[in-house]
Structure 1
């Protein structure tokens, strides 16, 4: 059985026969008769068992000489959740590389090793041992799959696709593409026969997925002029993304369909499509594996809703600001304060929708604002100090707020900031860092759902829910939704 793959070959073939979406992204199948590798949900003609080779991830399939299927599109498969990445340094390194590739960066192996606190030699060794490929092979696969998506889903010129996917030159991009996929980027774009910009992108998940709860969570926390939901099920928002040192502005629109999220992206954000997709997958928790999570929560004192996900965030700084504003106030009050920040410090942005016309304030905008200007919005002085300290840390680069950031180090840096206590840090771990085992024991909603248990009592109880305590928190919060006396976060 190859690294990361949860099934033996016979079980994997049965999952392929039934197109079992629970294993989408958990393994890939290479077909020796065609030289192509597919997702288990692929709807092409079922290959013969003797022609199938099974791999734990796309990089292993490509290293074995298989090229990605143009129909099921392996670059669309759900990724690994935070719990998977935490199992080993190799997987943590893989997440760091994947995050950097999505951002169009070219991380060096020494830099990745330093982030993990190990030597470059050890990084290479554990990658080979746990993932079966080298860090360079993993990075090349991620770049090429991102490039494949850009070629299929955008109209970016091929030179821009090469740059956006992290290749230093068009020559290197063409050579890597030809070596792995045995056709040119232009030939692949012609072969897909798609019409970029007309159909929404599809971002699949592993079922079940509680769509209603996710959309209700987002709708209950509206941010005027930045976010908006409509009666047709679309949720839209403005967005700023830094890509190759340049800040791009635009909008996204998403809807949760029966088996995938539909995503539309403003043309201005097309060069940063990898980052946008990564952020949306985090926001909607699309990489979670309910088959592993839900059974572990059986001892919860509330009914477990199948497929309930942990809402992440589209922008780590913005969500941290909203968490700080939410200290000791209701969700509605925090939304009001956040809207005042947007009105006062958010940059204007034109979108196709009236009323959706501002960006959330940048870290620099809040860091450079006078405390008095922020205070006039009704934000108490201690909270103003916390917001500006947070903004300065993010703007200076000393604090990174995204799922690939090291959890322990990031939480330690957060706790050094004024106004950041245990509750704020745990909410950051849960929503910003995508840590599956966060547990804000002092949260009012958690306390109420557990019948008034204090932290000293609930923390020992919560040990039974490791390493999925973040999902336990969501189940506890969800149990309050239909109660008139609900306390939500």
Structure 2
């Protein structure tokens, strides 16, 4: 790291600048602790500071996490930093699967490379090995669960992916110089009213929460999603490390003064907790650096004042297949009409779940369920008002997902997967771009033929819109959301 970088990062630490939160951590030699740049503790002297790009690198250097600023709550880095890079996709998979017991070799297999190559590029980018990064992910998750929930230490160890209580205790004491039970005694907790798991996920302010909630509310699938008292709730169906189906619900709220989203998780989802948290981060775009986006898109306000709002997030998705089907259903019809079709599909083919929450009654049909339907797909989806062409497209999408021929999960390589999507009969440029934007989290997707985009930029021609959008790279997805919100 250069002297100039160190000076910039120390200035950000001195200013408690939230724009740098998650981009670096500072190890303080006089205390042996590492902090986020927004930490409110006494400012350390420059000569006592060492800067790291990841929490894992700080921990490998011998520092333990600050109990005040809570490094486990720091937001991640934006996908645009390495949108098509192997190292970013590896980081995403490690974070999502840190509790599943997935090995480094298996993760490398998902990425289509050898584990040796993955270790080499990962270490070059983050200055720690994938194993070290995975270990820090597990320790920080365990720290959060100990501090914020009443789960037993054994349940914490298992949820964080340690495999055994003894291994967890030994590693925790070795790294943090504190027993898990001692940390718990230092962390006052509030009991959840429904015995659910309540955690906090940080973001870089500002965050246009009401804007995000309105967007999701307009597209919420009845039975699967709902908005209650300014919070987003949905049903969940995931598969555990033991290949067992797990069902439950989540609730996401906003705590603006602390720059965090509160995530309440059904205890039944504990075996897949890391998957749930990873998908919530994607759905609510917690990796975003809003000032970096606004630096480019602020020029949109020259078109019309207020067209671009600082803090606008890119709504992602929780279930990529659900989102892809929703995109197909939304082809050339209104948002409201597509929502109606999705509701019928869920009522007919979704799996009922008991949540005890009004408005949450089913999980969305899985691709395996669609593929397993007997007879022509038109016979199942036609009576729901879904055209034969769209029904066949949904079936082909389901088959491609089951065969693992298409990967449109968060962190996938958009250029590669877009070509595969466009090869599916019934998938055109608008649908592919929409899936890339919301399912893959690609920040530079742009559905230039979208009705809302054309309406917001009227009376410009399609050619003029495309030319204008070139000035919005690499944030065209965020530009699209701002255009939609302006309507």
Corresponding position: 1:328 with 2:335: no
Measure, in 1, the Cα distance between the counterparts of 2:434 and 2:335: 14
Structure 1 gap ranges (5+): 481-489
Counterpart secondary structure, 1:465: coil
Residue in structure 2 matched with residue 8 of structure 1 by the alignment: 5
Measure, in 1, the Cα distance between the counterparts of 2:308 and 2:405: 39
Equivalent residues of 2:145, 2:199 under 8 A apart:
no
Which residue, 388, 399, 419 being the options, matches 1:381? 388
Which residue, 97, 121, 133 being the options, matches 1:126? 121
Corresponding position: 1:92 with 2:99: no
Corresponding position: 1:68 with 2:72: no
Residue in structure 2 matched with residue 418 of structure 1 by the alignment: 425
Deviation at 1:168, TM superposition (A): 4.1
The residue correspondences of 1:227-266 to structure 2 (distance < 5 A) are 227-230=225-228, 232-244=229-241, 245-258=243-256, 259-266=259-266
Deviation at 1:227, TM superposition (A): 1.7
1:450 to 1:432, Cα distance in 2 relative to 1, 3 A? same
Deviation at 1:115, TM superposition (A): 4.9
1:33-70 Cα deviation digits (max 9, x unpaired): 22111112223333333322221110110111011122
Measure, in 1, the Cα distance between the counterparts of 2:86 and 2:416: 15
Counterpart secondary structure, 1:282: helix
Equivalent residues of 1:85, 1:95 under 8 A apart:
no
Residue in structure 2 matched with residue 295 of structure 1 by the alignment: 295
TM, length-normalised to structure 2: 0.90
Equivalent residues of 2:104, 2:131 under 8 A apart:
no
Measure, in 2, the Cα distance between the counterparts of 1:105 and 1:331: 40
Corresponding position: 1:359 with 2:363: yes
Measure, in 1, the Cα distance between the counterparts of 2:402 and 2:443: 27
Residue in structure 2 matched with residue 427 of structure 1 by the alignment: 434
Moved more, 329-338 or 259-268: 259-268
Counterpart secondary structure, 1:101: coil
Residue in structure 1 matched with residue 172 of structure 2 by the alignment: 177
Measure, in 1, the Cα distance between the counterparts of 2:405 and 2:272: 23
Corresponding position: 1:106 with 2:102: yes
Counterpart secondary structure, 1:152: helix
Deviation at 1:438, TM superposition (A): 0.5
Counterpart secondary structure, 1:13: helix
Residue in structure 2 matched with residue 29 of structure 1 by the alignment: 26
1:159 to 1:410, Cα distance in 2 relative to 1, 3 A? farther
Residue in structure 2 matched with residue 486 of structure 1 by the alignment: none
Which residue, 347, 354, 369 being the options, matches 1:350? 354
The residue correspondences of 1:440-459 to structure 2 (distance < 5 A) are 440-459=447-466
Residue in structure 2 matched with residue 147 of structure 1 by the alignment: 142
Structure 2 gap ranges (5+): none
Corresponding position: 1:188 with 2:188: no
Measure, in 2, the Cα distance between the counterparts of 1:351 and 1:296: 43
Equivalent residues of 2:445, 2:476 under 8 A apart:
yes
Measure, in 2, the Cα distance between the counterparts of 1:381 and 1:7: 61
1:375 to 1:88, Cα distance in 2 relative to 1, 3 A? closer
Corresponding position: 1:59 with 2:56: yes
Which residue, 471, 479, 488 being the options, matches 2:478? 471
1:247 to 1:453, Cα distance in 2 relative to 1, 3 A? farther
Moved more, 425-434 or 197-206: 197-206
Measure, in 1, the Cα distance between the counterparts of 2:266 and 2:36: 28
Measure, in 2, the Cα distance between the counterparts of 1:188 and 1:242: 31
Equivalent residues of 2:21, 2:204 under 8 A apart:
yes
Equivalent residues of 1:437, 1:470 under 8 A apart:
yes
Counterpart secondary structure, 1:297: helix
Residue in structure 2 matched with residue 405 of structure 1 by the alignment: 412
Counterpart secondary structure, 1:25: coil
For these two proteins, the number of residue pairs brought into alignment is: 474
Deviation at 1:479, TM superposition (A): 2.1
Moved more, 332-341 or 26-35: 26-35
Measure, in 2, the Cα distance between the counterparts of 1:38 and 1:474: 33
Equivalent residues of 1:97, 1:107 under 8 A apart:
no
Which residue, 216, 221, 224 being the options, matches 1:223? 221
Measure, in 1, the Cα distance between the counterparts of 2:364 and 2:120: 43
Deviation at 1:93, TM superposition (A): 2.6
Measure, in 2, the Cα distance between the counterparts of 1:419 and 1:7: 52
Moved more, 265-274 or 395-404: 395-404
